[in-house]
Amino acid sequence: MAKVKTTFSCQDCGYETPKWLGKCPGCMSWNTMVEEIQAPSKNHRSYVTSQHTVQKAQPITAVEREKEARISTMMVELDRVLGGGIVPGSLVLVGGDPGIGKSTLLLQLSAKLAERKARVLYISGEESVKQTKLRADRLGLSSNELYVLAETDVTRIEQALDEVSPTLVVIDSIQTVYRDEITSAPGSVAQVRECTAAFMRMAKTRGIAIFIVGHVTKQGAIAGPRLLEHMVDSVLYFEGERHHTYRILRAVKNRFGSTNEMGIFEMKELGLEEVKNPSEIFLAERSEGAAGSVVVASMEGTRPVLVELQALIAPMGFGNPRRMATGLDHHRVSLLMAVLEKRLGMLLQNQDAYLKVAGGVKLDEPAIDLAVCLSIASSFRDRVVSPLDVAVGEVGLTGEIRRVSRIEQRIQEAAKLGFNRILIPEKNIGGYTVPRSIEVIGVATLETALAVALGR
């Protein structure tokens, strides 16, 4: 009889140790060690070796290139994030906060594919079949090609795949499914690892796409071992505030496309609707004539997005000055404030600074530096930047404005939305056609940019 082994596994990173530890040596987290009883599986090796075929190594030049046969989701925003559509045989992980709309998005995706006569199997481990039906009725979704199943056993799920032969499978969620061979509870490190490996094998051997939903921790990371994100082909994060209607879908990992793309949806009564032009949405409630407000043209993958940056500079009450930023890296904000203080003589060391990106968008590219500096200077000097101005550029530590990428797309987007003037790095001038409706001004230093924008 096989000997039963007891180990302690970290529920955050998957680190295993034969004895309990208060602090995980792998991720330095406290009180994350959970006891798991592991018995060697009798048929574990058999199902692995049965699917393994011996292949010989060959030169990469001898490998025939096959065009990726992608399946369109009929949702432009989702296709953009996935890199052009769903790749058959891929395993996609979708994570997000509770109630953000993960199940709604995947149920809408399943219904759209089913309407095109593609057979879809939606497996829920958290809802019964009747509850899934109620949610589908609320969203107005119905199709004979959409199959639903309430199951958590991986073996029975594999049998259902053989019976239905679907094109797409949705598993909601990976933390609820389990394998009989693993004695630990569903959602544990061992169960998540083995179940994900089983779904990866099903996707690759059958050539079907599988979407799995992953729960997230309080810190916003996907629950379970980090290995889970390494095993899948794509990792999508669904972001947004529960009390706001807009949702942002980002790809943090994608083996079949770019990881810089962003899809924007709006939660309505009948489910999620795509936002065709996010720039108009982010600028719709902008107040004109307010100091500290500047529009920046940021790139999200291949799409230019115009968003509003807001800054509030107020005298410090007591103690150390506060530096708070929402949607921006507060370390970069502190760096840019130091540049303004050193190069332009602004006395900001006794001022509290509060910065925000309107609309809940997160910006992390260097091209937003100039707009951040202009918004801080505008609020500090109480001078209004023209509401028809857009600023783009990276700011160096010596106060120079450095070149940015994809400047032509940024200018085209600003002109399309009716802006009259755009400030760009001087090195980005030339080499493209400028629309007649917008004036392009090249600036070489931060001092010149402030003189143009604030009229100094």
Binding-site residues for ATP sit at: 96-103
Q: Which residue has the tokens 């100091």?
A: 291
Backbone angles phi, psi at 242, to 5 degrees: -65, -30
| Structure-derived torsion over alpha carbons of residues 57, 61, 62, 65, reported in degrees to the nearest 10 | 110
Q: Long-range contact list for 335-340, CB < 8 A, 24+ apart?
A: 335/397, 336/369, 336/372, 336/373, 336/376, 336/395, 337/376, 339/373, 339/395, 339/397, 339/399, 339/446, 340/373, 340/376, 340/377, 340/446
- What kind and span of H or E run contains 79? helix 76-82
Kind of pairing, strands 262-268 and 389-391? Answer: unpaired
Q: Which residues contact 46 (CB under 8 A, 6 or more apart)?
A: none
96, 252 Cβ separation under 8 angstroms? no
Rounded to whole angstroms, what are the CA distances from 361 to 282, 309, 353?
9, 10, 19
Helix axes 330-344, 446-454, angle to 10 degrees: 90
Amino acid, res. 82: L
Give the bridge partners for 170, in sequence order. 122, 211
Q: Give the total residue count for the chain.
A: 456
Binding residues: 96-103
Strands (E), 127-270: 146-150, 168-172, 209-214, 234-239, 246-254, 262-268
Burial call 339-364: b when 16+ CB within 10 Å, e when fewer: bbeebbebebeebbbbbbbbbbbebe
**Do 442 and 422 contact (CB within 8 A), yes or no?**
no
Q: Which residues contact 64 (CB under 8 A, 6 or more apart)?
A: none
Phi, psi of 74 (to 5 degrees): 65, 15
